[in-house]
Structure 1
Amino acid sequence: MSTDVAIIVGAGPGLSAALARRLAREGFRLALVARNVEKLEPLVASLSAQTKVVALAADAADPVRIEDAFARAEGALGTPDLAVFNAAQRLRGPIEDLDPAAVMAAYQAGAFAGFLTAQAAARRMLGRGSGTILFTGATASVKAMPQSTPFAMAKFALRALAQGLARELGPRGIHVAHVLIDGGIASSWARPGDAGPPDKWLDPDAIAASYLALHRQHRSAWTAEMDLRPWVETF
């Protein structure tokens, strides 16, 4: 069993919840960061029987709030061994109709917040010389689709952040990786009576297992980017 500390920024009921449950079973102490922590109450209650868990309210795009969340998590649980950035804000529409303020907000939530999360995590991990920082990407990280430009802008930037930090922090003992989720996650997309082949959506529990494997990789063979897609997904 692990005694590691993990902090998940952008925690919600889908992938983040699956990851939290997997980490709790492995003995991780957990900090879950979200704008609205009330939505996390059922998850926190279920995890509390297995491990120590705290839910922290913060806007991840606010430098003061995210630093405060990390400080509170560290005070309650210890220095994070694993930090996962799983926040995003989808915004769609034709370019002539998009509100610039809304586009900026989406960019800040999906990219700038990733920078702030990584900075707060790295400041703590560097003193120890070890740790893992993982970023959740999407198909939009490598392929921008019509009327989804704001989302792709943020995801492209997040991928660049991960690449730069992997090169900067790897030699200092911190494993940085970008996980490209190339397909719909079952917790968000699956519906009763869905037609089509089995397992056409990504299983969030399977994704969580891949995240844990990344964290546990030996430093002689670190992965900088991992693509995850259902067996029927084209690419």
Structure 2
Amino acid sequence: MSRRTAVIVGAGPGVSGSLARLYADAGWNLALFGSHPDAVGALADDLRERGAAVDHEIGDLADVADTDDKLRSLAERAEEVGLLHFNPSVFREADALELSVADLLADVAIGVGGLLTAVQAVVGSMGPGARVSATGSMAADQPWHRAATLGVQKAGLRNLVLGLDTTLTPSGIRAVSVTVRGALGSEGAFTPDKVAAAIYAATWREDADWTPEVSYEG
């Protein structure tokens, strides 16, 4: 019997790593895409020790053509893509008076446009019952003025996921953005493991209970 593959975009330590380990422990194989070879390699080794087959590619989401090629290749090599998870965002400390239009657009191209690139590259390898998930943030509703692009990215990401869910539903694929309403930390309700568990749970709800956004309050 084939094992489903979870494609993790923005793979590395933190929430994406915790989520990848959840899927490995649930019997999935993993296809990782990230920008830092050491971090992706360390995660891949950990997942293999858990019994998962792991494939990976290193790339920069800012390079759309290269990202598209590498994600399509990952998806084509997978037995069956059952999940695409999108995790990346860009933190740039600059308020709206310091920020240039070019910097704003560059960050949105990664934090929002990266999801568009990923879905278009992978969706051809996904079938009914598959899921698209994304790590959202309370910055979409409560942005910090000193990280002006992050709020725009997370608001745009959520909006794109809402549209994707409507677009993909006729093919049996659902999309969800999980809005994390707290700051990640090493203790408490917002550790990477707990946030990843909330994303996993939101992703595999029944269609009758489906909403394309879920808030994780901790």
What is the TM-score when the length of structure 2 is the normalising length? 0.90
Give 1:154's aligned residue: 153
Partner SS state of residue 20, structure 1: helix
Give 1:73's aligned residue: 74
Give 2:63's aligned residue: 62
Structure 1 residue runs of 5 or longer lacking an equivalent are 191-197, 231-235
Identify if the C-alpha distance between structure 1 residues 51 and 34 changes in structure 2 by more than 3 Å, giving closer, same or farther: same
Is the 1:132–1:175 contact (alpha carbons within 8 Å) kept by the matching residues of 2?
yes
Give 1:15's aligned residue: 15
Deviates more, 1:163-172 or 1:201-210: 201-210
Deviation at 1:110, TM superposition (A): 0.6
Q: State the distance in 2 between where 1:228 and 1:2 align.
A: 32
The alignment of Structure 1 onto Structure 2 pairs a total of residues equal to 217
Identify if the C-alpha distance between structure 1 residues 93 and 115 changes in structure 2 by more than 3 Å, giving closer, same or farther: same
Is the 1:2–1:27 contact (alpha carbons within 8 Å) kept by the matching residues of 2?
no
Give 1:194's aligned residue: none
Deviation at 1:2, TM superposition (A): 9.0
Is the 2:136–2:158 contact (alpha carbons within 8 Å) kept by the matching residues of 1?
yes
Give 1:106's aligned residue: 107
Partner SS state of residue 81, structure 1: strand
Give 1:206's aligned residue: 194
Q: What do you get for the CA RMSD once the two structures are aligned?
A: 2.0
Give 1:122's aligned residue: 123
Trace 1:21-40 onto structure 2 (pairs within 5 A): 21-40=21-40
Is the 1:179–1:226 contact (alpha carbons within 8 Å) kept by the matching residues of 2?
yes
Could you tell me which amino acid in structure 2 is paired with residue 113 of structure 1? G
Give 1:179's aligned residue: 178
Is the 1:89–1:151 contact (alpha carbons within 8 Å) kept by the matching residues of 2?
yes
Identify if the C-alpha distance between structure 1 residues 94 and 63 changes in structure 2 by more than 3 Å, giving closer, same or farther: closer
Structure 2 residue runs of 5 or longer lacking an equivalent are none
Give 1:145's aligned residue: 144
Deviation at 1:23, TM superposition (A): 0.8
Matched, 1:217 2:216: no
Q: State the distance in 2 between where 1:111 and 1:75 align.
A: 24
What is the TM-score when the length of structure 1 is the normalising length? 0.84
Q: State the distance in 1 between where 2:20 and 2:2 align.
A: 14
CA-to-aligned-CA distance 1:8-27 (integer Å, 9 cap, x gap): 10112100110111111111
Matched, 1:135 2:123: no
Is the 1:62–1:113 contact (alpha carbons within 8 Å) kept by the matching residues of 2?
no
